Amino acid sequence: MGIRFSAKGCLEIRVKNILGDYNVMLLHSPMLNQDGEYGGMSNPVIYDKFATFMKFQTEAPKIVWDAFANRFGDCIEFFINRGIEVISHNIDPEHPSVLKRNSTICGPGKKVGGVIIHPPYFGSSPQSNKEGELSLCPEVGYFIGLSNHVGLVVDSLDEKGYVCAVGRHYRTKGRAIRLDEWFVGKFSGLNFKLVEVWRSTPDVAIVMQKFHVW
């Protein structure tokens, strides 16, 4: 008698395999230049690389949603200088081009070719005192909020679009959190494939692309 797999079982095996592939890619991924530590901000080289990556993609529209953008608009130029439209959201913006939006309940409002996701990390110090601020959420609320965000990303991404998720492997409240693996698991379960992995210290940027199952 042959072995039978349920759809759920197949998906679990696929996600497990992709996590294995991801950890091998991580081991061999290029280490980006960096200038010290960045606290709650990302290494600007990640933005620089993703903007360049998007510039040379011919399949996806040249519009990027920066869902958890720098509140002072610091990263906008990376896209603008490469002819890429950017929609920047932050819960507590300080720059006229950054829209005040809660990216766990509000998408970019149009189809985009790329999304960069650099949320506050669960357990990090508060990044604002505004309602919807992810760094203020307890663990369950944090991951529900981030899962809602992933749903909005899938809905707003062009069919050949790319995601660049920034996460890290860190410790908080006495335990290890693999936010990088959380992103890979979540997106691979939604039919995304791994494209590139870039390493900074301690952040990792994971580029994934939507694909279609016929």
Ligand X SMILES: C[S@@+](CC[C@H](N)C(=O)[O-])C[C@H]1O[C@@H](n2cnc3c(N)ncnc32)[C@H](O)[C@@H]1O
Which of these ranges, 23-31, 98-106, 175-183, 205-213, lies near ligand X under the rule CB under 6 A? 98-106
Applying CB under 6 A, which of residues 49, 71, 199, 210 lies at the interface with ligand X? 71
9, HSE (Cβ side, Cα atoms, 13 Å): 4
- Angle between helix 139-156 and 179-188 (nearest 10): 40
User: Between residue 118 and residue 137, which ones bind ligand X under the rule CB under 6 A?
Assistant: 118-120, 127-128, 132-134
Closest approach of ligand X to the CB of residue 124, in Å: 8
Residue 112's alpha-carbon distances to 53, 97, 119, 161, 164, in angstroms, are 15, 17, 19, 7, 13
Please tell me whether residue 15 binds ligand X under the rule CB under 6 A.
no
Q: Dihedrals φ, ψ of 59, to 5°?
A: -85, -35
Please tell me whether residue 210 binds ligand X under the rule CB under 6 A.
no
- 46, 196 contact by CB (below 8 A): no
Q: One symbol per residue from 21 to 50: x for binding ligand X (CB under 6 A), - otherwise; what is it? A: -------------------xxx--------
Please tell me whether residue 70 binds ligand X under the rule CB under 6 A.
yes
112, HSE (Cβ side, Cα atoms, 13 Å): 25
Which of these ranges, 54-62, 66-74, 154-162, 195-203, lies near ligand X under the rule CB under 6 A? 66-74
Alpha helices (runs of H) in the chain, residue ranges in sequence order:
7-28, 44-55, 76-80, 139-156, 179-188
CA distance 184 to 161: 16
By C-beta, is 47 or 187 nearer to ligand X? 47
Please tell me whether residue 89 binds ligand X under the rule CB under 6 A.
yes
User: Between residue 134 and residue 173, which ones bind ligand X under the rule CB under 6 A?
Assistant: 134
Residues lying near ligand X in the complex (CB under 6 A):
40-42, 68-71, 74-75, 89-92, 102-104, 118-120, 127-128, 132-134
